[in-house]
Amino acid sequence: MTTSRLRDDIAALLAAQRLAVLATQDQNQPYTSLMAFAHTADLSTIVAATGQETRKHANIMAEARVSLLFDNRANSENDFTQAISLTAIGTATPLPVSSYPHYSALYLAKHPALRSFLESPSTVLLIIIIERYLMVDNFEHIREMIVTP
């Protein structure tokens, strides 16, 4: 399978899903959070928002390395052969205010109902720079894509 096909499969899954599981670390323990997200067309960046007073924000400030899990499961027996999961591994950082217009527009295009949350003074927009993706389909078929800037 070509890198182009894998890139297309990743883009299709990200476009179809609205939520992901973000994994951070809290004192060397994994911590997961369900997050709304958006992605850039080149797949290099995931955008998410969180409150400044959340555990996930504190975890990211202490350790920027994170992973995200995206999937298309339907919670049915068919998931064992038909579900696709995608792990993205990268580094999360709060977005500089100068970059807000571009990334907030991207986020709100996918999640218009979250405008008031995003515009709250206590909300931080995060960018996650992706290093690699691991896609699993057909229960155990694994493909990897390294993201080059």
The tens-digit pLDDT sequence of the chain (149 residues) is 578 999 999 999 999 999 999 999 999 999 999 999 999 999 999 999 999 999 999 999 999 999 999 999 999 998 888 999 999 999 999 998 888 999 999 999 999 999 999 999 999 999 999 999 999 998 789 999 999 87
- Number of folded domains that form the chain: 1
Q: Could you give the count of Cα atoms lying within 13 Å of 59 in the half-sphere of its Cβ? A: 20
* pLDDT reported for residue 140: 86
Closest CA to 128 of 2, 43, 58: 43
Q: What is the DSSP letter of 140?
A: T
Burial (Cβ within 10 Å: 0-12, 13-18, ≥19) of residue 97: exposed
Q: What separation in angstroms does the CA of 142 have from each of 5, 89, 102, 134, 138?
A: 14, 15, 33, 7, 9
Of 131, 123, 121, 122, which is closest to residue 107 (Cα–Cα)?
123
Which residue range is the domain that position 110 belongs to? 3-146
SS3 58: helix
CATH number at residue 69: 2.30.110.10
- What pLDDT, on the 0 to 100 scale, is given for residue 46? 99
Nearest to 46 by CA among 29, 28, 23: 23
